[in-house]
Structure 1
């Protein structure tokens, strides 16, 4: 076997966490290698071009105003569009339009009010389901709140931490997290920009290269992959939570406390798909002219959104948490037929018309993807008990191993692109600050 190639730092994973870490390190002159199992960069940012349409199969929105993410968007010269428009609820055969629903106050909405109240919750950590019962929310109102928490967080409400949900709500308020933007031309332009900056600074990115194991001792790492061995003084592990939980990469030796910390977190399932139509036919009806979000609470999916204020003739359906699992079993044509049935009823249009207008169904099963094994992280009861699981994972290991990814975020923004980006920047800073970084010529 050929001699292993030598680097200062090997980064596992070319999602936003790994790319942001590698970019920071490469621009300081470090010899950096990014190892990525996929044939592309971006991780769970995955954009598909379908004719004239740009379809997001993973992350789609910029949530609020996270400083690091907006700084990167500006540096890359990308254009963003804020999501505006109406929230429409179709329930019991009736259509209710909340004009400019994105700006609507949520404290009195039965779907959002119990979650908003968690911002001030100071009691013991309960599951969200138990919290609803103990806080006296009327049984007939619990369903909407449970559905919201499970759908938005891809979580099981019978296990999801009420303390973590409260921390998340406070964190979102700090950045106006209820406001949404998308990147014109596709979210994948952002990881592509980072990859270009890494290469321009002398870093390497190896695609189609799956890491199998990490043999390490303080100040020395050997990463074994499908394309050979790579040695370095340090390694940043920026792989998804569920991949690490499944033992997708073996550590020799296993860092103390790693398995326990990983086991205190969960990766949730999501079924999201985008329907591409010939025309944005819904705009022909006055009540849907400015449609942004459509809620169909009696159906699955129960959450939909258009590209408003853009002109794209697409509608995305979303189900998160345990209720997503049955839909993930459906074939694309079955999912398309189910969606058209729900939407035809909401718009009082013939089913045949929608089927004729439908050009395609686009989706990616993140649960079945061996390099993801889930959509994003949620926290069960006890995950924030000191020391919290994210805080444990964010700690350097002997100045040699560093972990990044949205599951390692310590600012309560789990499950977001900006959490992944921020974690990569943090891991790079830790690697640079480690004392062993001054003595890298070890091989």
Structure 2
């Protein structure tokens, strides 16, 4: 089958759907090709024990204006993440302490050390140009070192280093040695500050969507209707001065004046392009691996931890889950805890049987919250590294040298081909809001 449209969007995540939605409202003839049998990309949901739980992205926070606007437009209620009560922190020796606020009390010297490192990080982040990180002052120096090197040079105590390393895994789903310092600074600057991305109240984890964040994608898809083709992985894009021909694995082809590739760079690089993409773009996609995450959702008959004066939020240095959050909806009697296995832990435990991972996670929850935690009503997980059309989460990772050597190729169109996805966002990179912004920006740049 051969079809002709104005624009083909490759990928039905929030970026691709947002792009197609804007174009369709301009009466542009658009078709979205999605490899999976569902929409949503790195958002997804499941119903367990009668409760809808998010298996991918889920949180919103102040400044994520496009995500809040979309939720309001679709009539999806937003509610605050539960934070009342004491948080828990488990140190490397297994001691569990209660605390309030953002940073756990794991020793006075370690806390002071972490605070001075955070202040230095924030000062550096404010120097980064979010539109073009490679043009930032001292960009070459910042991009020549890993975040691990900066941690070793900046923090003086073992406890402070361990705390900053744990924060790295939570924020980027990788080890500090995998990440350029410039990218870490850019990521924080694109969200406002490091404190913003770490915080729940007044931070990136402040709010949740009633019915799950995947409802954003479903709502957009409902509006687009038959403009979306599922189970249609794109294998080839032939492009030239007169437009492009997109080929899906079934052999069907679609002619279009413009194409928007709304995929993580690692997946965009697996498509065959004819003629081949410029070396700068190809070199970029070869370097941008995804973070490693296995998301765990644990559902209980009720949020029993609240009766003990606990918030449901916890940090654990022994793990395997570094951080837990209460994701319970006020409209449901269930209690829901959210945890993510990240970085090296996710890669290691991803090779183990699912039953073993569940046992390890429940053992940690039992240590933290008591024997009731050992008996959830339901337990479900999603290994995003094993997803063939995602290959990881939360977002692509920039190793040293990538921003300064290859960054300009990230958003630059190539003939009729445009790029979208949260990785192309200059604000809220790696977040749902960044994905939505990127799709809207790609649509605004297109005159089919």
| TM-score, length of structure 2 as denominator length | 0.85
For 1:186, the equivalent position in structure 2 comes to: 212
Runs of 4+ in structure 1 deviating by more than 6 angstroms, as ranges, are: none
Q: Are 1:430 and 2:430 an aligned pair? A: no
Report the Cα distance in structure 2 between the residues aligned to 1:12 and 1:271, rounded to whole angstroms: 25
User: What CA deviation, in whole Å up to 9, does each residue of 1:349-394 have, x standing for no partner?
Assistant: 3xxx544x223321122111111111122222223216x52x4221
- Residue 327 (structure 1) aligned with residue 328 (structure 2): no
Structure 2 alignment gaps of length 5 or more = 125-136
Q: Which residue of 1 aligns with 2:423?
A: 407
Q: Secondary structure at the match of 2:256?
A: strand
Q: Is the 8 A contact 2:312 2:337 kept in 1?
A: no
- Residues 3-402 of structure 1 mapped to structure 2, 5 A cutoff: 4-85=2-83, 86-91=86-91, 92-99=93-100, 101=102, 108=111, 114-121=117-124, 124-125=141-142, 126-173=145-192, 176-177=196-197, 178=199, 179=203, 180-199=206-225, 204-227=227-250, 228-245=252-269, 247=270, 249-256=271-278, 257-286=280-309, 288=310, 291-307=311-327, 310=330, 311-349=333-371, 354-355=373-374, 357-375=375-393, 376-385=395-404, 389=407, 391-398=408-415, 400-402=416-418
* Structure 1 gap segments, 5+ residues each: 438-443
Q: Contact 2:23 / 2:443 at 8 angstroms: preserved in 1? A: yes
Deviation at 1:111?
Answer: 5.4
Q: How many residues align?
A: 413
The alignment partner of 1:423 has SS state of helix
Q: 1:330 to 1:276 in 2, by over 3 A?
A: farther
Compared CA separation, residues 185 and 65, structure 1 to 2 (3 A): same
Contact 1:377–1:407 under 8 Å retained in 2: yes
Q: Assess if the C-alpha contact under 8 Å between 1:240 and 1:405 holds in 2.
A: yes
Partner SS for 1:49: strand
- Cα shift readout 1:197-255 (whole Å, capped 9, x = no counterpart): 323xxx6111111111111112321111134111111110012222234x1x2111122
1:110 and 1:145 in contact (8 A); partners too: no
Task: Give the TM-score taking structure 1 as reference length.
Answer: 0.86
Whether 1:420 aligns to 2:435 is yes
Shift of 1:142: 0.8
Distance in 2, matches of 1:238 and 1:348, equals 44
- Asked if the contact 2:94–2:318 (Cα under 8 Å) also holds between the matched residues in 1, the reply is no
Aligned to 1:441: none
